[in-house]
Amino acid sequence: MKKSLGLYDIVLMNVTAIIGLRWITIAAAGGASSVFMWIFAAFMFFVPLGLVSSELATGWPRQGGLYVWVKEAFGDKPAFITSWFYWINNLFYYPSLLAFIAVTLAFLIDPLLVQHGLLTGNATLADSKLYVCGLTLVLFWLLTFINCKGVRIGKWLANLSGLFGTIMPGLTIIVLGSASVFLLKRPIPTDYSFEKLIPSLSSFSDISFLSTLMFAMAGIELTPTLAGDTENPEKTFPRATLISAVIIAIIYIIGTVAMTMILSPDKIGSASGIMAAMKLLSTELNFPFLLTGMAIMITLGNFGGVGVWIIGPIKMLFESTRQGVFPEFFVKLNDDGMPRNAMIVQAVLITLITLFTSFMPSVESMYEVLILMTTITYFIPYILLFGAFIKLRKSHPDTPRPYRVPGGNPGAWLVAGIGLFSVMLGIFLPFVPGKDLVTSQAIMIYELEIAGGPLIFGLAGFLLYRRFEQKNLAPDV
């Protein structure tokens, strides 16, 4: 049977699945040193993850990917924890994405409020935690009820999300960043001297955003699961990994530099940076439709992304978990074949998380905390992935693998060690508070949320599985 996927199919899938517009503003806020950070993330995290995943996928090609590999190496319980954290990270990811949408929409709503005298001076809805949290929860509950009714948000909306949420806005930023310097002759507001290109290691707070940039490159472990449909997977996947790393890093770097050609890093907000840049240029060009068009594109694209994925992670969790781990109430399907109870529980948890993060001093810090908790919970399964790779190399050396990480066992240990180091660094760095948190109260709330969110939900997963184990060990009466 002819294999349907070639080298450039895999590269294209990696690039389109991983590139995200939101990460450009976070990198741009770091200034010139973000160029080095993108390169570090590409070759110290993305490449090892891609190579290790390629070997595991060709050796254990069954559907389930990371869950299957961890189960093969360590058993059912660690495999469940892997799937559990894959779902948990979405509890932080969804509100961060919807908060981004809310901030973007604020740039459309503000002029209308000013026109009717409801906003004055420099006030903006983008700085209002009440507005951002309120709209985030309204949108998520709306999507939850739509999905509970079995209304499927189709593949066309997923494609629309990629086109309007990433590709078109990204191209617009790159074009306008170049036009700002070369056509409008505006001075570059960012220092790109050699000294600024090298990250300062004097304080961890100067490089704490590296974990987010690594998260921006996460997800390559999914494409190797298509090894069975790929021509010459032993050659295709390592080549695709390296080519993808270069392309993704270049795209992110170009986008980041374009942003810093419009605004100086200190004026780029993680959530509002794109729209702030568009507002500045639309005013200078006297072209208000630029701001409106960008806001509509980003809103449609990202809203579609949430709508498409709101049900997927729950179903993946159920499919990869042994029957009896979750209470019957949680897994019960409604008349439309949807896990309504699980979706309601998910919405309640996201409501609590959103309200809890509102204690942060600003919308920007609230958004950053959500992103960092997403990163931590997403990276925890990667520890098990690299551990599974090392374990399976030792315990199943003779299992056929069309692709092997080159260099024999020393090469495998080196690649896995680099990847594991990067993942651990990505989990550690979020605990370093940013420079914008100056009061002891703000820092304490930040640390409680960064540590408490993943810890509480991780503990809940362990207790769920322990309850399942105890129930199975209990003697029948």
Percent of the chain with pLDDT over 70: 92
Q: Per-residue confidence at 371, pLDDT binned at 50, 70, 90?
A: very high
How many beta carbons lie within 10 A of that of residue 113, not counting itself? 15
Residue 209 has what pLDDT? Answer: 85
What number is the average pLDDT over the span 323-349?
A: 88
- Per this entry, what is the length of the chain? 477
Residue 437 has what pLDDT? Answer: 82
Return all residues near 313 (Cβ < 8 A) that are at least 6 apart: 86, 87, 90
pLDDT at 258 over 70: yes
What number is the average pLDDT over the span 38-42?
A: 94
Residue 6 has what pLDDT? Answer: 85
Residue 167 has what pLDDT? Answer: 78
How far apart, in Å, do the first and last CA atoms of the chain sit?
Answer: 54
Q: Is the dihedral of CA 362, 367, 370, 371 positive or negative?
A: negative
By three-state DSSP, how is residue 230 classified?
Answer: strand
pLDDT at 432 over 70: yes
Residue 154 has what pLDDT? Answer: 46
User: Which H or E element spans position 361?
Assistant: none
Q: Is 333 left (phi over 0), alpha (psi -120 to 50) or beta?
A: beta
One-letter identity of residue 84: W
Lowest mean pLDDT among 30-39, 167-176, 297-306, 364-373: 297-306
CA atoms within 13 A on the CB side of 237: 32
Give residue-wise pLDDT tens across range 177-198.
888 888 888 899 999 988 888 8
Residue 203 has what pLDDT? Answer: 60
Chain centre distance of CA 425: 16
Q: What is the 3-state secondary structure (H, E, C) of 234-282?
A: HHHHHHHHHHHHHHHHHHHHHHHHHHHCCCCHHHCCCCCHHHHHHHHHH
| 280, burial (CB in 10 Å: exposed 0-12, middle 13-18, buried 19+) | middle
pLDDT at 313 over 60: yes
One-letter identity of residue 79: A
Q: Per-residue confidence at 162, pLDDT binned at 50, 70, 90?
A: low
